[in-house]
Amino acid sequence: MIFVDVHAHLQDKRFEDKAKIVDDAVKKGVKIIINNGLELESNRETMELAKKFPAVKAALGLYPTEALKLSEKEIDAQLSFIKKNKNKIVAVGEVGMDYLRSEEKERQKNIFSRLIGLAQEIDKPLIVHSRKAEEDVIRLLEEKKAKKVVMHCFTGSMKLVKRIEKNRWLLSIPCTVVRDQHFQNIVKEVPITQLLTESDAPYLSPAPGQLNEPANIIRSIEKIAALKGMEREEVANNIFSNYKRLFE
Ligand SMILES: [Zn+2]
């Protein structure tokens, strides 16, 4: 059985012994960890991690609030960095929009739109953050006719979840599904063929107040199995096929 974590931030300074974190995950069967960069430095670190650990795959991105700190020229440089590494990465992420932390909606739309275009140009899936901007994010992705999309830790309404499902995009379920009704509802509503699992490590731990790790994906698999009335193995196999269909 292979478990998959499509969204982790192992570059986080709080992870002192990264080899141990990866090793613990792999021992538990989490053999694929997509590390997501947020800006130039963590994108570089993501490339290093992917080079060092066979289980780690690279996603390079530009987090919405990080992007807003940059000039247009610096954004160009970030986009070129992603493009230059296209053969070494499995996705463009973490990207998206965040209206909770910033009201600069038009600039966010402009930058996100460019990132969608880049992902299409290099034919990679997008791993999308959409806090308090869910409908605008979906609309923009639809307008640009994006096909390969993972909505990460999606906290929008069930109506929007249905729209994501209809668009044939995927939803990655965080480890908080063990205690969060919203994600439990998503798991019950959305077909297993459109679900993925993510840690968002070090965030979104199944146990509040702790640092999250990719190894905890196993707890999400157990919860999803219980919610869907499926065997653990069946859930893991489905999610692994979803991963392969989208990222390989
Ligand atoms: Zn994240």
Domain boundaries, the chain: 3-247
Distance from the CA of 34 to the center of ligand 1, in angstroms? 11
Tens-place pLDDT, residues 10-34: 999 999 999 999 999 999 999 999 9
Res 153: pLDDT: 97
Distance from the CA of 227 to the center of ligand 1, in angstroms? 24
Residue type, 57: K
Closest CA to 9 of 178, 127, 162, 186: 127
Tens-place pLDDT, residues 32-80: 999 999 999 999 999 999 999 999 999 999 999 999 999 999 999 999 9
Distance from the CA of 59 to the center of ligand 1, in angstroms? 11
Distance from the CA of 54 to the center of ligand 1, in angstroms? 21
Return left, alpha or beta for 145; rule: phi > 0 is left, psi -120 to 50 is alpha, else beta: left
Distance from the CA of 220 to the center of ligand 1, in angstroms? 17
Res 248: pLDDT: 94
Site of tokens 């970030």: 78
Distance from the CA of 94 to the center of ligand 1, in angstroms? 6
Res 186: pLDDT: 98
Distance from the CA of 195 to the center of ligand 1, in angstroms? 17
Quote the percentage of the chain above a pLDDT of 90. Answer: 100
CB distance 111 to 64 below 8 Å: yes
Tens-place pLDDT, residues 191-241: 999 999 999 999 999 999 999 999 999 999 999 999 999 999 999 999 999
196: helix, coil or strand?
strand
Tens-place pLDDT, residues 102-146: 999 999 999 999 999 999 999 999 999 999 999 999 999 999 999
Res 114: pLDDT: 98
Q: List the strands of the sheet with 56-60, edge to edge.
A: 3-8, 30-36, 56-60, 89-96, 126-129, 149-152, 170-173, 195-197
Quote the percentage of the chain above a pLDDT of 70. Answer: 100
Distance from the CA of 1 to the center of ligand 1, in angstroms? 25
Distance from the CA of 212 to the center of ligand 1, in angstroms? 12
Greatest distance between any 2 Cα atoms in the chain: 51
Res 84: pLDDT: 97
Distance from the CA of 146 to the center of ligand 1, in angstroms? 20
Distance from the CA of 204 to the center of ligand 1, in angstroms? 9
Task: For the domain made up of 3-247, give the CATH fold.
Answer: TIM Barrel (3.20.20)
Res 239: pLDDT: 98
